[in-house]
Structures are given as C-alpha cells and as structure tokens.
Amino acid sequence: MDKLWLADGTFTRSLCFKMCIVLALRLHQLKNKTGNMIQTKAFAAFDAKTPLAPFDFERRNVRANDVQLEILYCGVCHSDLHQARDEWGGSIYPMVPGHEIVGKVVSVGSSVTKFKTGDTAGVGVMVDSCRTCKNCQKDLEQYCVEGMTGTYNAKERDGKTIAQGGYSTQIVVDERYVLKVAPELDLKAVAPLLCAGITTYSPLVYAGVKKGMKVGVVGLGGLGHMGVKFAASFGAEVTVLSTSPSKEADAKRLGATKFLLTTDEAAMKGYDSYFDVILDAISANHDYTKYLDLLDIDGKLLVVGLPTDAPKVLPFSLIKNRRSIIGSMIGGMKETQEMLDYCAANNIVSDVELINMQDINEAYERMLKGDVKYRFVIDLASLK
C-alpha cells in the first residue's frame, strides 16, 4: 500500500515523509533560537587524508565568565597541519584547527570583568586548564598537571564537548584564557603572536637574553622569524643559522646582524663555543649535537621545534661548557599577555601572508615546502 488515507483526502507516503522532514527542520531551528547556540561557519579536517572542507557547527551559549569573539584573523601554525593529518596520533574529527586567533568581542557573560563588547582580543593555544594545580597557580597553565585544554583537537573539561579552533567565524572562551590585543596594531600580523610569538618569547626570556649576549636562531620559519625579532629587540647580537644562503638578506632585514651557513664546515668551526643561547625552531628531524658544539660556557639550546624522531645528542658535547638543552612550550596566560603588551609597546608583529579560508589546503602544501614568509593568516571575512 503506497497511500495513506486521511479524513479529508489522500497523501502519498513520499509527501508525508517530506512534511515530516520540514517539521523536524523547523523544530531544530526553533531549538537553536531558544537555546541561543551560536551558529558557526568553519573549515574542518574530516579525516587524516582528505583536504579540509566547509563545516557548520554550534558553539556553546555564552556563560557567565565567557567572552564571545567574532574571529577576524587566524594564523596557520605547523601544528595545525600535524594534527589535521593525525601525525601525532589521537586526532579527533571533525577538527577545526587554528590557535592564533584575533577577533572582536561581540558579547560577554554577566560576570566578565576584563572585556566589553567592541574590544579587540585574542585566543592562543589553550582555552582552559584545571586552575588549581601547582603549575596553574604559578601562571604556568601550559604545564597544568591535569593537562591544559587545547583550543582544538581536545575535549573541554566536561570530558565530552570537542574544542574547535579558529578556522571559524566565532569562538566562545572563558575570559581567563582570552587576551587583550591593542587595536592599533596590524591585527592580521598580531594573530601569529598567539602561538609563534609566545613560543619564542617565553624561552628567550627564561634564558635571560639581553644586551651583550650572542643568540643563534636555527630554522627561519614561522617560529624562527619571531625568535630573531624578539632576540634583537632584547638587545642581543643575533645570528641566523641556515642551510640556505638565500635566507641571509631576510635574516638581516628581520634583525639579525650575522648569518652562518651551516653547510659550510669551516664557517661552523669558527663559531665553536660562540653562542650564549641557540633557539632551535626546526621541526624536521635533525642532530642537536651540531648546535650544542656552538654553545659557550653555560650555553643553552632552547628547543621549540617538534621533530617526530628522537634527536641525536652526543653526551661529550653536552658536558663540555656545562651546556644544557631546555624545552619550552608556549607560555602561561600572564606571560602571553606580557608578550602582547611588549609587542604593542615595541611595534613587533609577524610577517604574514593573508589568505582566504578556501585557500587553506594549498597553504598547507606551500607550508610543507617552506614557501611562506613567514606565516599564513586566514582572513575570516572570506567565510562570511
């Protein structure tokens, strides 16, 4: 039987089915309206192999302590690509990457004190942490004992909501994890400060980089170019170490005074035990010993790149000159705010190439070839 008989006539099954769909859609829209869920457009990775594609989803309602940002710009970090392609394992899909977020505050919860509608603000690599452990209490939330909540590819602290990042039009974050951004800066160039900026600023400050010190920067990419800018602004003599002679002019434009071609063995010998600090921002697999040998007494190799394989370290090169290898991961909320304020006061921003959201897959391919100076930043106006 393919007809449904009602008192006033007949309906085919297919018509009845269509009506049910329409009714269900209406109910869904009504629920969204009454629940105030925030409709968000985004680009997401749906698995490790296929290109990122459009994805619509809902952000949570603005709670008492939340700030809602309309995202203007989001930087493209190499870790976005690693996680979208599940290169570190455990990726959660669909995944909206992006943790270098700058936007305008469009609404605030009733208990918010730091922000008001219309402010310019930023969100970096984390959106929450336990807030009570010894590290959280020392403003080192990035090392939260329970683990910080990443801006994306992570579960919120309710254990079920999937955190989604900045390749999207909106984000809702507790104000404790939102940063103030000076509106007069070039906002697209501020976005990468939220990850690349703090990732290099924090270890350089920790190592006490100042005038009179000799700092080497290895890996002149998104991180490295910020390392050069910060170390130079702190008054250090900065040398860029690279395998590519073509980087020399740019290194000097960014603030380096010297350039060392690491494939030139004689030149490398000349820098034996020379540097106080070397910032290693290489994410490809490489040999740490080569750089350790260039460190002077109490020299520090600051590791911020994330190679996938265990690096080679020769103990003799480590004990000589009492050298150390120091790892560092982003920075706490307090230090990230200090970094943004320092950048505003000293007019430091990233060198960026603005792209539309729809260009992200091509940007990933170019990033893999090192073909970007020095950070892609997505203009979210392209998604509206």
Binding site for Zn ion (CB under 5 A): 77, 79, 129-130, 133, 136, 144, 195
Q: Cβ 241 to Zn ion, closest distance in Å?
A: 22
Q: Cβ 277 to Zn ion, closest distance in Å?
A: 22
Q: Cβ 222 to Zn ion, closest distance in Å?
A: 8
In whole angstroms, what is the distance from residue 202 CA to residue 226 CA?
11
Are the CB atoms for 298 and 270 separated by under 8 Å? no
DSSP string, 3-19: EEEETTEEEEHHHHHHH
Q: Cβ 196 to Zn ion, closest distance in Å?
A: 7
Q: Cβ 257 to Zn ion, closest distance in Å?
A: 28
Are the CB atoms for 60 and 281 separated by under 8 Å? no
Q: Cβ 17 to Zn ion, closest distance in Å?
A: 47
Q: Cβ 136 to Zn ion, closest distance in Å?
A: 3
In whole angstroms, what is the distance from residue 204 CA to residue 191 CA?
20
**47: number of Cβ within 10 Å:** 12
* C-beta closer to Zn ion: residue 52 or 195: 195
In whole angstroms, what is the distance from residue 333 CA to residue 352 CA?
24
* C-beta closer to Zn ion: residue 79 or 149: 79
Q: Give the DSSP letter of residue 311.
A: P
Question: In the structure encoding, which two tokens stand for residue 132, read together?
Answer: 């009570």
Beta-strand runs (E) in 246-294: 258-261, 275-280
* C-beta closer to Zn ion: residue 68 or 79: 79
Are the CB atoms for 100 and 196 separated by under 8 Å? yes
Are the CB atoms for 217 and 240 separated by under 8 Å? yes
* C-beta closer to Zn ion: residue 68 or 151: 151
- Rama region for 274: left / alpha / beta (φ>0; ψ in -120 to 50; rest): alpha
Q: Cβ 100 to Zn ion, closest distance in Å?
A: 7
* C-beta closer to Zn ion: residue 77 or 187: 77
Q: Cβ 121 to Zn ion, closest distance in Å?
A: 18
Task: Report the amino acid identity of residue 369.
Answer: K
DSSP string, 31-82: HHHHHT-EEEEEEEB-SSSSPPEEEEEEEPPP-TTEEEEEEEEEE--HHHHH
* C-beta closer to Zn ion: residue 131 or 210: 131
* C-beta closer to Zn ion: residue 51 or 147: 147
In whole angstroms, what is the distance from residue 253 CA to residue 88 CA?
34
* C-beta closer to Zn ion: residue 144 or 281: 144
* C-beta closer to Zn ion: residue 169 or 199: 199
